[in-house]
């Protein structure tokens, strides 16, 4: 996990081969495996929903007398839950208000920070680094953005850009610490970013009790963001979709360009594929680690901006929710490609929006979403397992094309 304290060689060669191998595995898988992984995960989730449903257990009591009753109970239990999930995430004709019917916009709202933080993980991953610290970077980004958003009063055209910039800087600092320590001392970024996540939580709790506290509230919560400092709503006051989504889409385009078209991105990919070769080719690997973590942290910081200036409007210790951890699964599901991450974030946003509706309408706890999401990633990360379940033969050219 951690590495020796070496003077000249921050990363021992053994670690490098492993990182590049993981990237190759993640990128080499095909779309079929991804779809099958989602299907298997949903099936297992369905089994869980069915066996914990009292109607199913009641019907199973007389299974041998009337097997059809059990099967229909299972069907209604699972179809109700997943039906509610689907309708909540897309379009629900049964909802009472017309705003409530259009769950698709809630999906987009939830997806916005996931896109940005997923990109953060994706970018670092391509340079061979595991950024487990998106959570802390989101918190720092939101804190910085909030400090500018409610602490300062600027004219309309300047305030929002200032908030966005501050959030990016906050995230970049937190990510940069991990990159700097990795480059200079060889400290493993996984450990450092995990620890920084927890330090960030303590830090924001401290600030919320002191400097950033709303003087009119007894709770550890900040004042509301300035009216000029928030993202405008894209579809009017009835929906929560905000201009952060546009920032997120621009970020996807930007990261795609950075990775595939720019010199810097080429360097990152070279470092991710084989740091030793990159070093031999004259690239500054340590500088690459620092800059990639700065950019990665800035992207996660933007996710924090999307939270505070888009949906939440004020800072509290729960500002990041579970976005930072979901970001890791989003990046893995998106196979560490910018547009893949985008669609994976849409799927997970849909799970979040639909999960709320499922909890309300089908009485199935939203925790099942976490189960399904983690199963998806496990199956995607282990293509041989999915192949053996469905008896798919491994693509012959897989090794060669990677």
Partner 1 sequence: MSVTANISPSKAVDRVAVRSWKLPILFGLLALFAVVVFVVLGPSGQATFRISQEGDAWQVPDLAVPAKVFGVVVAILCVLLAARAYQQMRNGGRIDNWVSMTFTVAFVVGLLVWIIGGTKTQNITLVGLFTGAMLITTPLVFGSLSGVLCERSGVVNIAIEGQLLAGAFTASLVSSITHNAYAGLFAAAVAGVLVSFLLAAFSIKYVVNQIIVGVVLNVLVSGLTGFLFEKIMKIKVDGATIYNQPAQLPDLPIPLLSQIPVIGPTLFRQSIIGYLMLVLVAGIWFGLFRTRWGLRIRAVGEHPKAADTVGINVNRTRFLNVLAGGAVAGVGGAYFTLVAVSSFSKDMTGGLGFIALAALIFGRWNPIGAALAALLFGVAGNLQSILSLAGTPIDGQFLAMLPYALTILAVSGFVGKSRAPAADGEPYIKG
Instruction: State the residues that interact with partner 1 by CB under 8 A.
Output: 1-5, 7, 14-15, 18, 22, 25, 48, 52, 130, 132, 181, 184-188, 190-192, 194-196, 198-199, 202-203, 205-206, 209-210, 325, 328-329, 332, 365, 367-371, 373-375, 377-378, 381-382, 384-385
Q: How far is the CB of 164 from partner 1 (least distance, A)?
A: 28
**Contact (CB, 8 A) for 338 and 252:** yes
Q: Which of 32, 194 has the CB closer to partner 1? A: 194
| Nearest distance, CB of residue 41 and partner 1, angstroms | 10
CB of 54 to partner 1, least distance (A): 8
Smallest gap from residue 325 Cβ to partner 1 (A)? 6
Smaller CB separation from partner 1, 121 or 251: 121
Instruction: Please identify, using beta-carbon distances, which residue of 190 and 233 lies nearer to partner 1.
Output: 190
CB atoms < 10 A from the CB of 216, how many? Answer: 7
Given a contact cutoff of 8 angstroms between Cβ atoms, the answer to whether 46 and 78 are in contact is: yes
Structure token pair of residue 104: 């698709």
Cβ pair 49, 78 in contact under 8 A: yes
Q: CB nearer to partner 1: give 123 or 375.
A: 375
Which phi and psi angles does 289 have, rounded to 5°? -60, -45
**Residue partners of 31: CB distance under 8 A and separation at least 6:** none
Q: How many residues are present in the chain?
A: 402
The encoded tokens of residue 198 equal 């927890």
Complex with partner 1: residue 198 or 257, whichever CB lies closer = 198
Distance set, CA 143 to CA 46, 115, 138, 325 (Å): 39, 20, 8, 18
Nearest partner of 152 among 215, 221, 228, judged by Cα: 228
Instruction: Please provide the DSSP assignment of 143-194 as one string.
Output: HHHHHHHHH----HHHHHHHHHHHHHHHHHHHHHHHHHHHHHH---HHHHHH
How far is 110 from 305, CA to CA, in rounded Å?
A: 13
State CA 351 to chain mean position distance: 13
Shortest Å, Cβ 308 to partner 1: 20
Q: In the bound complex, what is the minimum distance in angstroms from residue 315's beta carbon to partner 1?
A: 15
Output the smallest distance, CB 5 to partner 1, in A.
3
Q: Which is nearer to partner 1, 189 or 267 (CB)?
A: 189
Q: Which helix (H) or strand (E) holds 83?
A: helix 67-89
Residue 244 CB, nearest approach to partner 1 (Å): 25
C-alpha dihedral sign at 48, 54, 56, 61:
positive
> If DSSP codes are grouped into helix, strand and coil, which group holds residue 233?
strand
Q: Which CB atom, from 95 or from 191, has the smaller least distance to partner 1?
A: 191
**Nearer to partner 1 among residue 187 and residue 319 (C-beta):** 187
Closer residue to partner 1 (CB): 7 or 157: 7
CA 17, 19, 22, 24 torsion-angle sign: negative
Cβ nearer to partner 1, comparing 48 with 264: 48
DSSP codes joined into one string, 32-72: HHHHHHHHHHHHHHHHHHHHT-HHHHHHHTTTTT-HHHHHH
């Amino acid at each position: 996990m951690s590495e020796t304290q070496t003077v000249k060689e921050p990363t021992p060669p053994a670690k490098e081969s492993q990182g590049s191998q993981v990237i190759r595995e993640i990128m080499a898988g095909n779309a079929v495996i991804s779809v099958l992984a989602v299907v298997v995960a949903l099936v297992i989730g369905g089994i869980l929903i069915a066996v914990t449903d009292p109607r199913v257990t009641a019907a199973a009591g007389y299974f041998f007398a009337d097997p059809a009753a059990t099967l229909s109970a299972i069907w209604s239990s699972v179809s109700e839950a997943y039906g509610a999930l689907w309708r909540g995430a897309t379009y629900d004709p049964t909802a009472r208000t017309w705003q409530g019917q259009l769950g698709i916009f809630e999906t987009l709202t939830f997806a916005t920070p996931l896109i940005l933080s997923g990109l953060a993980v994706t970018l670092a991953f391509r340079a061979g680094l595991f950024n487990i610290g998106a959570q802390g970077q989101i918190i720092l980004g939101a804190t910085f953005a909030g400090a500018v958003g409610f602490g300062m009063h600027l004219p309309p055209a300047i305030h929002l850009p200032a908030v966005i910039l501050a959030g990016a800087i906050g995230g970049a600092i937190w990510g940069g610490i991990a990159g700097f320590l990795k480059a200079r001392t060889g400290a493993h970024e996984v450990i450092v970013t995990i620890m920084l996540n927890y330090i960030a939580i303590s830090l924001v709790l401290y600030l919320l009790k002191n400097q950033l506290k709303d003087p009119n509230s007894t709770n550890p919560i900040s004042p509301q963001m300035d009216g000029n400092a928030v993202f405008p709503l894209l579809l009017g006051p009835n929906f929560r979709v905000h201009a952060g989504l546009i920032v997120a889409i621009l970020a996807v385009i930007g990261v795609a360009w950075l990775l595939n078209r720019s010199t810097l991105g080429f360097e990152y990919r070279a470092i991710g594929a084989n740091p030793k070769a990159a070093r031999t080719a004259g690239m500054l690997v340590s500088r690459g680690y620092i800059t990639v973590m700065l950019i990665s942290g800035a992207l996660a910081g933007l996710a924090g901006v999307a939270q505070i200036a888009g949906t939440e409007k004020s800072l509290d210790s729960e500002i990041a929710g579970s976005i930072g951890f979901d970001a890791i699964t989003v990046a893995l599901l998106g196979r560490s490609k910018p547009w893949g991450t985008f669609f994976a974030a849409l799927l997970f946003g849909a799970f979040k929006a639909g999960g709320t509706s499922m909890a309300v309408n089908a009485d199935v706890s939203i925790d099942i979403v976490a189960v399904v999401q983690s199963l998806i990633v496990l199956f995607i990360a282990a293509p041989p397992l999915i192949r053996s379940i469905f008896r798919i033969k491994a693509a012959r050219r897989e090794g060669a094309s990677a």
